[in-house]
Homo-oligomer: A and B are copies of this chain.
Amino acid sequence: MAGPNKPMLRALAGERLATPPVWMMRQAGRYLPEYRATRAKAGSFLDLCYTPELAAEVTLQPIRRYGFDAAILFADILLVPQALGADLRFVEGEGPRLSTVTSAADLARLGPAEAVHATLAPVYETVAILRGALPPETTLIGFAGAPWTVATYMIAGRGTPDQAPARTLMYREPAVFDALIERITEATIGYLSRQIEAGAEVVKLFDSWAGALPGAQFERWCVAPARRIVAALEAAHPGVPVIGFPRGAGGGYAGFAAATGVAAVALDASVDPAWAAREVQSRVCVQGNLDPLLLVVGGPALERAARACVEAFAGGPHVFNLGHGITPDADPANVEAMLRAVRG
């Protein structure tokens, strides 16, 4: 099957399909016993990310089990800060810990955006392996964290409930904050370009904490960097679709869809499909947005909600997905039930 005939690429090109393509955020994850087995073999989480054969293996597991229409590279959004020179480790059960960037001096200690590729080379190798290993109908998605979201971790040195450290730097040291966003933006353009060169057919930009940006700052720190990344990728690799995920953007989803040049917008679960069909899907393909909790709950609630989601977006281009990542306590059998509900 040639590239443009893959269901995922057709939907991203703006085609309305009778059955939407389906994949799930975090589909290679702890809810799958085969993932846990490979993860145990790899050693640390970062070892798994940086060992191409194993990263490719966990990427392929959900494709083998469920036949999703897309595979997403297994990696982490914090590999870019690490490649820029931040110390990074994952503390079991607590999440990431990084050296912090809160001053011009900290920023000066980071490497240049062009220097990230030595560290990230194993990721490009994973992409290349995957491109050769995937079934012909399956689309390969690369990804990166969006600059604001990556910055929230680099500034706080960890995940934070409300991203207050990053907002504080944004208010107190706008020049440092701006320079950090700039550095991440440049590194991200290079990182995604190399993923595309290695075989990624689509790339997704995860702005997981977009909803923590004050509304008046959303355009500058979420929309503008996304627009710049999309434009740079389009110049270097014309026609490769970008999916934007400004999670929690609320009413801002409409402006994001209109102003960034993305081919698709991923919607979090809080977005009303009726509103999004009107305000977002009228401009670009939409992806989403089933509540991931339904893959824990299962039963008739799952089936009803999955069908309702398909119907709500039936009038335009749609990629079926969750509103956020599948959780470790989800039942793999519920994923099958979801697929039956979507694919009939």
Contact = CB atoms under 8 A, between A and B. Distances in A.
Nearest to A213: B270
Contacts of A296: 168
B293 A164 contact: yes
Contacts of A219: 272
Give the most central of A174, A216, A291: most B CB within 10 Å: A216
Contact of A272 (B216, B299, B309): B216
A303 to B, nearest CB: 11
A297 B177 CA distance: 15
B164 A269 contact: no
A253 interface: yes
Chain A's interface size range is 35 or more
B252 A291 contact: no
A341 interface: no
Contact of A297 (B171, B251, B302): B171
A98 to B, nearest CB: 21
A72 to B, nearest CB: 23
A255 interface: yes
Interface stretch (A112-120, A184-192, A273-281): A273-281
Interface string A189-211: 00000000000000000000001
A289 interface: yes
Q: How many protomers of this protein does the assembly include?
A: 2
Contacts of A274: 216
Contact of A248 (B171, B250, B252): B250
A235 interface: no
A269 B214 contact: yes
Nearest to A280: B251
Nearest to A169: B297
A305 interface: yes
A229 interface: no
Interface of A: 161, 164, 167-168, 171-172, 174, 211-216, 218-219, 248-255, 267, 269-276, 279, 289, 291, 293-294, 296-297, 299, 301-302, 305, 308-309, 312, 323
Give the 8 A-B residue pairs with the shortest CB-CB distance, closest first: A250-B250, A215-B272, A171-B301, A214-B291, A215-B271, A251-B251, A251-B275, A171-B297
